[in-house]
Amino acid sequence: MTDLLTITGAIGTDPELRTVGQNLQRMTMRVASSERKRDSDGNWRNAHTNWYTVTAFGKLAENAHASLRKGQRVLVAGKLRVQQFDREDGTSGTRVEILANNLGPDLVNQVASSAPPANNTPASAPEPSRMPESAHLQDTTAMPLSNPSDQPETISFPADIRDAACEPAF
């Protein structure tokens, strides 16, 4: 099954990180997503809860393991995979898994803070590209920095937060 979906829910187990294959990181955790309904008194109640196994790979797996904990509310976006299996006692079961492309804290009822990974040191600002003086046309594609001597600010979410192992497959 290749359905893409986004859910919100509460983490039911602490994220577990393992190395698989050729040093590829895999993170798994369980997430409970509950449907909310109003009862006859007008109070909100959880009506039905779906449980998902959430799996992430690569840098997304490492960052999720370092950032998320049991009980925290999260947003998960990814590919749905449903598998049937047989238990040792002869009964059958269904495993519902989301192969995560993106995940992070749900900020509706909580505040999150972040910091770049320890090995992510800010690089020097690149020099704006310049055309040779002999060129007759002016380069209009290069955007010079407003103040090239300033160091770039620390980035809260580094550009390498995801890698090819967790890119969508569509």
Task: Give domain status of residue 121, yes or no.
Answer: no
Model pLDDT for residues 141-159, shown as the tens digit of each residue: 333 333 344 443 333 433 4
Q: Is residue 70 part of a domain?
A: yes
Top pLDDT among 78 and 145 is at 78
Q: Which of 63, 47, 36, 68 is nearest to 157 (CA)?
A: 63
85, part of any domain: yes
Cα radius of gyration rounded to whole Å, the chain: 22
CA 109 to each of CA 8, 15, 17, 106: distance values in angstroms, whole numbers, following the listed order: 12, 20, 26, 7
**Domain membership flag for residue 12:** yes
Structural domain containing residue 70 = 4-36+44-110
Model confidence over 90-132: pLDDT tens digits?
999 999 999 999 999 999 878 877 666 555 544 444 444 443 4
Tell me: the pLDDT tens digits for 41-69? 989 888 889 999 999 999 999 999 999 99
Can you give the pLDDT at residue 2? Answer: 66
Is the pLDDT at 136 greater than 70? The verdict is no
Residue 129 lies in a domain: no
Q: Which of 87, 73, 77, 5 is nearest to 36 (CA)?
A: 73
Please indicate, yes or no, if residue 13 is contained in any of the structural domains.
yes
CATH number at residue 56: 2.40.50.140
Whether residue 147 lies inside any domain: the answer is no
